[in-house]
Structure 1
Amino acid sequence: MNIHKSKLALACLAALFSHQALAADGSLLGRLGDTQNKAWFEGASVRLKELNLSTVTKGDGSFRFNALPPGDYTLEIRYLGAPKTEHPIHIEDGKTLQQRFTLGLKEPKLDELIVYGQRAGQAGALNMQRSADNLKSIVSSDAIGQFPDQNAAEALQRLPGLSIERDQGEGRFVGIRGIDPNLNNVTINGMNIPSPEAGVRSVALDVIPSELIEGLEVTKSVTPDMDADAIGGSVEVKSLSAFDRAGRSASLTVQASRNELRSETSPKVSGSYTDVVDFAGLQDSLGVAVALSWFDRDFGSDNIESNGDDEIEQRYYAINRERIGAALNLDFRPDFNNQYYLRTLYSRFSDDEYRQANTFTFDGDDSEIERGSKDRYEVQEILSLTAGAEHQLQQWHLSYQLGYAESSEDEPDALYYSFKGDGFAISSDFSGQIPAIVQDAEAKSLSNYEVDEISFEDNLAEDQELSFKLDMSRDFDMAGHPAQLKFGGKYRSREKQTNANIFIYEGDFDDLDAGQFAAAVPAWGLGDFGSGLDRQAMRNHFSSNRSSLELAALDSELESNGASYQSDEDIFATYLMTKVDIDKLRVVAGIRYERTDFSTSGQRVELIEDEQADEEKVVNTAWQGEKQYSHLLPSLNLRYEFSDQLIGRFAYTQTIARPKFEDSAAFQIIESKTEENDDGGFDTEREAEVGNPELKPFESNNMDLSIEYYPGSIGVLSAGYFHKDIDNFVILADVSHLDAWQGFAEVTQPINGESAKVQGLELSWVKSFDNGLLIAANATLSDSEAVTLLDGERFETSLPNQSDKVGNLTLGYEDNDWSLRLTLSHKSENLEEIDGEMLRMEDAHQQLDFSGKYFINPQMHIYFNAVNLNDEPYYHYFDRRSINAQYEEYGRTFELGFNWTL
């Protein structure tokens, strides 16, 4: 048996490296553009009919065939929105034919519609989706501009199976098929992006302005040459390249927006420039692309939330968010066999938040009110640097890339004031989405309160990753069928650390008059708020009196040291894959190996309050953890072309997801109290919150099956089924029953639980009509099962944040003067968490947005966007919709802007 296998392997190698396979033969280097030399077309299917060789055009419209025997051939080009065309070509031995091709468009107007406007984004995205070897959903830069989306997260919500988690009404994290965003992979120009936020892996895509994006690709079935940490999927952010544009290009956008809730006007400016120039004596060899974006937004929200029992909190937010983004990309192409590139992207996202809150605790005569403020300025930064090259070495294609990315979240000088008062007449029936609160006049005056606590925080989270990858591929003949062999490897080194500095002041504030911090009543739209808090007065007071305030040293040390840790992760990966075209069937199969070396260091921090020994102290002990694991992950992607219009797909893949850093970090926060009991003895009660460096990674078996129908015009009708079995699902549990925690009343720790499952259907329909109308609709219907352990009790629920219905509906119209779109996005209710004995649910969310453009001429247009036209609130409830957990409204936002394009 082994002898036969050896002979078969030798035969394959002989065929792969035979003289005929390595013969120079001839080559074809083509480029597909429009008749006016204004645009290149990506995603077009190109085939040499006589040899049954096929490929897909790249972003710059280029494609290539190597090792072609001399002779005459027919080149077939297919692109949605244009008739299929055929071109005769002649290949000479040892020579490369370079030729430019254009789409066979009969009407000049149709050409313009495909190059510009709504149809441009749809045609490009659908062609790339149709030609892909695996399951992908794509958003082009043109499509991003057709919606009032502020960032990458909001642009992605329009795709089938994708939903977003919002923060203050803005899209922030992206969920794929309802899977936790921490289980997705995000890359920028092929470089894995570390998360700015402490403790998590998910990248908040609101830090990336939409103006810096050339395209977004969501891969739902990975191939072996992709990172395996993509249980939900992989999101690739692509920034612009000069070679993706035909000639010199430039753009400028100026915008003003106004938030209805806070009546604030916010400016925005963005621009881009690309050009291809001569360099080092070589014509059109250097491409330069630059993009800048600045957006300074003032807005806010009104919030009311409760614990469903005896506590209600009113919150008033005033927020300023500033986004600054920049990209500089260089491409050097000395000849058609060598390409070099440098991709850079910088994003700075600042969030200046001032929150005023009133917390009402209802307990008869012991009822009390706490008024508090949160004065926090936070900056998140992402820097991505990627350098690489591609070389055609006879029949081998070699590519390599070196990448460095860093991100940070800096929260300096965060200040919190807390005021408490009691003896007031307050009441509430806790009914409805917005529970009403009755309070007497004394409760509304800050002079009737006392300062209870002041805290000050200076926190910093940093995440860095260095990576290198190498890929090699070559085409060959496998038993008369065109095939490709590809292999390579990747190394990633990541370091994430969190440093917390928390100072809690609980001293005697009897001499401090709380009334001096009173301000005007905020314009809170959900009821009677009472006295406001003067932000600057509290900041000035703290700056002037900090040295005389009494520091709660032990509590401060416990909180600071318990929240500070570092984690290091080294990942080595290698893969082998092959692609074979057997008539109308394309098979992409292979295997990927990934080894992970993980280490973490932090502290075991214990607060000891011992009446028997008459001592209070904090004991800090260094704690470290290490874990190594490896995975061998097969994958299979099948693509069958029933006809030019009908394509079927099947995929089986295995993927993983490494635990969140806050779950696997080496930290322990322990509180130990020894108090005298009624019998004169002493009892000790201990509780702990700990990380778990021994956590195993999530492991998932994924299956996808889909059918796609592409009519002759720009459009698609598709349906797909997906199923995921996820092992080692991480849950929070009380592990005090384990031997390691004897004597503890409660120990909360992340552990690997039972398996989870998710399955569903994805439906999509996109259609552009000749009269200018456009319809796009998609829906994802899913079902999930997961197990959660809480207080020793086993709960069978759906996956957290898993909505069983997600969908979008877009109605559009476009002609030479107007471009209009009305979009409805829908996300059904989902489980957020188990809170005590109650289920906390996020209610269904439906948001209506409008975008309209008027074209002054082909280079200039004005636009008007209306975001959240239906003034949809954000609502959570306990068990029943009538029991408030959180109600928050953001108001409508209107945008007016001008765009100029060269």
Structure 2
Amino acid sequence: MKGKKINLKPSVIALASSLTMFVQAQATAATLQGEIKAPAANQLITGANVKIKELGLTTVSKRDGSFRFDNLKAGTYTLEINYIGAKPYTSQVEVSEEGVIHQEVMLEAEQEIENLIVRGQRAGQAGAINGQKNSKSIKSIVSADSIGQFPDQNASEALQRLPGMSIERDQGEGRFVGIRGIDPNLNNVTINGLNLPSPEGGVRSVALDVIPSQLIGSLEVSKSVTPDMDGDAIGGSIEVKSLSGFDRAEQSISFNAQVSQNQLRDELSPKLGLSFTDVYQVGADELAIATAVSWSKRKFGSDNVESNGDDEVEHRHYNITRERLGAAVNLDYRADFNNQYFLRSLYSEFSDEEFRLANTFVFDDETEIESGTKSRKETQTILSMTAGAEHIVDSWKIDWQLGYSKSTEDNPNALYYTLVAEELDISTDMQGPIPKVNQSEAVQDLSNYELDEISNESDHSQDKETSLKLDLTKSLEFDSVQAQLKFGAKYRQREKQTYAHINIYDDGFDNIDFVSAKNPHLEWSLGQFGPALDKAYLENLYRTHSTNLELNQLNSRVESEGSSFDISEDIFAAYIMTEINLDKLTLVAGVRYEKTDFATTGARVELIEDEENDNEEVVNTPWISDRSYAKWLPSINARYELTTKLIARAAYSQTLARPNFGDVAAVQVIESKTEFDDDSNTFETEREAEVGNPELKPYFSDNFDLSLEYYPGHIGVMSIGYFHKKISNFVIIANVANTPEWDGYDDVYQPINGEQATLNGVELSWVKSFDNGLIMSANATLTDSEAVTLLDEERFVTSLPNQSDTTANLMIGYETDDISLRLTSVYKSGNQEEIDGDMIRFEDSHTQYDFTAKYFINQRTHVYFNAINLNDEPMYHYFDSKINNAQYEVYGRTFELGFSWNSF
């Protein structure tokens, strides 16, 4: 809510106050620390397994290549380092009574192939595979090097290459990311450990297309969670890590420039990216800086045919300009060996300018054509800032973090026109993916149309979150068994606001010349379009005549007030967990507690049209609702090293997902009409409503995972995994008109908690780099789901919405010192999308092929060519049977030509 102050929980304040006491203490035990590099001496190795053989202590090198062991007794130890793609490393290390021993390690390539783990796809695969192998939980990773190997526009498209991942596309571009087919709203997304709010009004899901891929250091997808992670991750958790200056061993500069062309609209689009990292000595301290900026402006479009499956066909033509600006500035400061501080910032601005032409053909007793336009520019911004530190005090590690993030979406003055013509000669058989509409010449003549409505719509949404987190880790040893005890707390305060201001004009059109607005040059690839209108002419027409238009005040109020609400969430979490290392077995177990205080403010907006009493009015009744709920979330992750190449994993966890903001918002939109009925000779009242439900319970899920991973050597992995999810309180949209609360209403649609839903699946993955330069990877996820829903007030079992039975990826590549080639295929099987009236809407299967080629001029410079959607795959949705069109949309192929240079 506006003006609300942060009210930190007492337990968080108590934990935070203990930080000062710990930091003031002095470390006295012996410490072994080091840094791991690749052969070229400028690549730091992340994810290597580091072990002190005699003590059974293991750790994993961080993103800056560093590793550390504390509280060591004096003696001689064997240091072992293993990294897939490099030869095993072993050395003897002398440890004194106290102090710091520094060990710098240079790994050698496993094979005598130049740049084996330095450049190209092998480098990206090696880092990701090692990170996955040594993770304590079930995790998939995309490194920055891997992102650069594919023609992906943004973070969501980069993630689709991983097992179990799928994306929802908008205008052919990947936006929302699903994990194992679960609704993207049920995932958790963080940037540098900070929860990322959604800029869009009614949802929680974050469209990752607002994050340019050039700003990403790595992407990590956790499919099983540990207690120190946020509990709102039924699908899983996606962590976006941006660049750090310590990620590279020396100063680095990179630059890339690209131009692309969309075949459907024949437009050229530029793209630029620049990054810089360096480490500076400040006395005995180190200050690292990493900064990056990325900009692109893409012009493209789509052609579309939609229908209602019965008596309407709609033709749509889109012209779109999407502009992305992203920037990051990250600072890392190492005051001394035991105290490290960081400041992370990320800014992203994404604008989507769209001009849509639409002709809706209605085939009823009397034919009608509705010709409409939409002209709008929507801008989304994300600002994420987090500051924190890591302190080592004796056998304690203290991590704290303060975060602030804010997302906004602004859509000012979106302009809509609606023209109507009746009784023109049109016909269709409503058959096939692209139902043909036969049109007479009169359909193209705008003088046969009447201007029916103009609307000017502005909406704004804002989602911001402030958070405080504190983690304490204690190293323990029991009878030579190494363990860690970790506990901490996190407080999150979130505010979501959505406002709309809508003006609907339905009269005052007598002096408006819209006939001259016709655009005779429209190109549409799916047949005969119908009348087309000119964007600039319509915008000028509104500016000239807006003061003379007649405002429909009732409808304008209903649309505006029925789309506005405020929501606040205060979330307090605390956890305790332990990690136990028993030779080949590693256990991570614990419990997390999350308490949510929720409040929403909105309105009950009722449009009354009463002929009997000659009354038309809008009644706005404020509606405020609040509630609290809490949940204990236990979890356990087990990792067993059968051999050095064969890893078995098992996991159980409980997770939750809070309902979508639009579902729990305190908003009711009611239409009440009282009209004279000739048959009964009386006045009769019909009432319909669409209402939110602030009493919705959160989703809860029991999650089971089993997996087996085989690392055959060189750079490769084969894995198989099984997962099961049992989800309660699943949310469905139901007609609740017959319930006591809505007695006398004809239709009332409201989100309600359904019964249990289940999901079972198998993940298969294979990645392999061959000695001859051939690279191959393939993965597939096979799932089966059941959920209970309602159709015509009847209960029946169906699959989860948007749940594809099969998702798969295939990549075939070839690399030498001079060239790099990739052909990729992404497959997503059909799925049930939603229930639309008495029909079920399905999304058809989708297969897309992409190609990328690189030529390395030298070690630092290369040029590249990308071909996206080579097979010109359309998006197709249908009702009940594939012969019944719901939506058919084509985007064309996109070709990119680019240049990249780096200093390292």
TM-score band, normalised by the shorter chain? over 0.9
Q: How far 1:878 moved relative to its partner?
A: 1.0
Task: Tell whether the 8 Å contact from 1:445 to 1:530 is kept in structure 2 after alignment.
Answer: no
The residue that corresponds to 1:416 in the other structure is 416
Match of 2:5 in 1: none
Residues 87-486 of structure 1 mapped to structure 2, 5 A cutoff: 87-105=91-109, 109-110=113-114, 112-279=115-282, 281-282=283-284, 285-364=286-365, 366-486=366-486
Q: 2:587 is matched with which residue?
A: 587
Which amino acid letter does the alignment assign opposite residue 35 of structure 2?
Answer: R
Mapped to 1, the partners of 2:812 and 2:697 lie a distance apart of 46
Q: Secondary structure at the match of 1:533?
A: coil
Q: Tell me how far apart the structure 2 counterparts of residues 818 and 194 of structure 1 sit (CA, whole Å).
A: 41
User: Does the 8 Å CA contact 2:233/2:656 hold for their aligned counterparts?
Assistant: yes
Shift, 1:511, TM fit: 4.2
- Residue 831 in 1 paired to residue 835 in 2? no
- Deviation per CA, 1:493-545, whole angstroms, max 9, x where unpaired? 00000000011111143443431211124100000113320111111111111
**Is there any run of 5+ residues in structure 1 with no aligned partner, and where?**
1-21
CA contact (8 A) 2:287 2:333 kept: yes
Structure-1 separation of matches of 2:514 and 2:137: 63
Report what 2:23 is aligned to: none
Deviation at 1:860, TM superposition (A): 0.3
State the Cα deviation string for residues 704-743 of structure 1 (Å, max 9, x = none). 0000000111000000000000000000011112211111
Return structure 1 stretches of 4+ with deviation > 6 angstroms.
none
The CA deviation at 1:261 is 0.3
Task: Give the SS at the match of 1:519.
Answer: coil
Query: Is 1:784 equivalent to 2:785 in the alignment?
Result: yes
Deviation sequence 1:175-219 (CA, Å, 0-9, x none): 000000000000000000100000100000000000000000000
Displacement of 1:791 after TM fit? 2.9
Post-superposition CA distance 1:78-125 (Å, at most 9, x none): 000112121110100012101111113366634x22021110000000
Q: Which residue of 2 aligns with 1:40?
A: 44
Q: How far does the alpha carbon of each residue in 1:272-316 deviate from its partner, in whole angstroms, 9 at most, with x for none? A: 00000122x235x00011100000000000000111110000000
Paired residue type of 2:687: R
SS at match of 1:143: helix
The answer to whether structure 1 residue 559 and structure 2 residue 562 are counterparts is no
- Contact 1:168 1:890 (8 Å CA) reproduced: yes
How far apart are residue 156 of structure 1 and its match? 0.1
Deviation digits for residues 439-475 of structure 1, max 9, x if unmatched?
Answer: 1000112221110110010100000000000001021
Alpha-carbon distance in structure 2 between the residues aligned to 1:827 and 1:557? 42
User: Which piece of structure 1 moves more, 422-431 or 550-559?
Assistant: 422-431
Q: Which stretch of structure 1 is more off in the superposition, 824-833 or 791-800? A: 791-800
Offset at residue 336 of structure 1 (A): 1.4
Alignment check: 8 A CA contact 2:636 2:653 kept: yes
Output aligned runs, 1:470-549, within 5 Å: 470-549=470-549
Range 516-525 or range 313-322, more displaced: 516-525
Q: Are 2:787 and 2:798, in contact at CA under 8 Å, matched by a contact in 1?
A: yes
Take 1:23 and 1:525, find their aligned partners in 2: how far apart are those partners? 71
Distance 1:456 1:282 in 2: 61
1:23 shift after superposition: 9.4
Range 431-440 or range 593-602, more displaced:
431-440
More divergent stretch after superposition (831-840 vs 576-585): 831-840
| C-alpha distance in structure 2 between counterparts of 1:880 and 1:668, whole Å | 34
Q: Does the 8 Å CA contact 1:732/1:790 hold for their aligned counterparts?
A: no
| Distance 1:120-1:323 versus aligned 2 partners, 3 A rule | same
Paired residues for 1:680-719 under 5 Å:
680-719=681-720
CA drift of 1:72 comes to 0.3
Deviation at 1:881, TM superposition (A): 1.1
> 2:860 maps to what in 1?
859
Q: Which of 77, 85, 99 is equivalent to 2:81?
A: 77
Preserved CA contact (<8 Å) 2:38 2:117: no
**Distance between the aligned counterparts of 2:110 and 2:734, measured in 1?**
66
Cα separation, 2, equivalents of 1:521 and 1:746 = 44
**Residue 746 of structure 1: how far off its partner (Å):** 1.2
TM-score (norm 1): 0.96
- AA of the residue aligned to 2:186: L
Q: Which string of whole-angstrom CA distances, capped at 9 and with x for unpartnered residues, describes residues 142-182 of structure 1?
A: 00000000100000000000000000000000000000000
- Indicate conservation of the 8 Å contact 2:85/2:110, yes or no: no
**Distance in 1 between residues matched to 2:385 and 2:485, nearest whole Å:** 29
- SS of the residue corresponding to residue 770 of structure 1 reads coil
Separation in 2 of the partners of 1:243 and 1:272?
A: 14
3-state SS of paired residue (1:114): coil
Code of the residue aligned with 2:826 in structure 1: it is S
State the alpha-carbon separation in 2 of the partners of residues 539 and 343 from structure 1: 42
- The aligned residue for residue 18 of structure 1 is none
SS, match of residue 169 in structure 2: strand
Q: Distance in 1 between matches of 2:614 and 2:307?
A: 39
Greater displacement, 629-638 / 676-685 = 676-685
Once the two structures are superposed, residues 864-883 of structure 1 have per-residue CA deviations (whole angstroms, 9 ceiling, x without a partner) of 00000000000001111111
Whether the aligned pair in 1 keeps the contact of 2:110 and 2:714 (CA below 8 Å) is no
Unaligned segments of structure 2, at least 5 residues = 1-25
Contact 2:263 / 2:892 at 8 angstroms: preserved in 1? Answer: yes
Counterpart of 1:184, as a letter, is N
3-state SS, counterpart of residue 119 of structure 1: helix
Contact kept in structure 1, 2:109 and 2:117, CA below 8 Å: no
Cα distance in 2 for partners of 1:737, 1:747 equals 9
Secondary structure of residue in 1 paired with 2:551: coil
Counterpart of 2:88 in 1: which secondary structure? strand
How many aligned positions are there? 877
Contact 2:302–2:318 (Cα < 8 Å) also in 1: yes
Question: For 2:522 and 2:762, how far apart are their aligned partners in 1?
Answer: 46
Partner SS state of residue 527, structure 2 = coil
TM-score (norm 2): 0.96
CA displacement, residues 124-145 of structure 1 (integer Å, 9 cap, x when unaligned): 0000000000000000000000
CA distance in 1 between counterparts of 2:512 and 2:541 reads 10
Task: State the Cα RMSD in Å.
Answer: 1.1
Q: CA deviation at 1:27?
A: 1.1
Q: Partners of 2:394 and 2:507 in 1: how far apart?
A: 77
**CA-to-aligned-CA distance 1:37-58 (integer Å, 9 cap, x gap):** 2111000000001000000000
Asked if the contact 1:444/1:529 (under 8 Å) is kept, the reply is: no
Show the counterpart of 2:32.
Answer: 28
Mapped partners of 2:212, 2:854: distance in 1 = 20
CA contact (8 A) 1:326 1:347 kept: yes
Aligned AA for 1:136? K
Partner of 2:635: 635
Q: How far apart, in 1, do the equivalents of 2:322 and 2:844 lie?
A: 26
* Equivalent in the alignment of 1:13: none
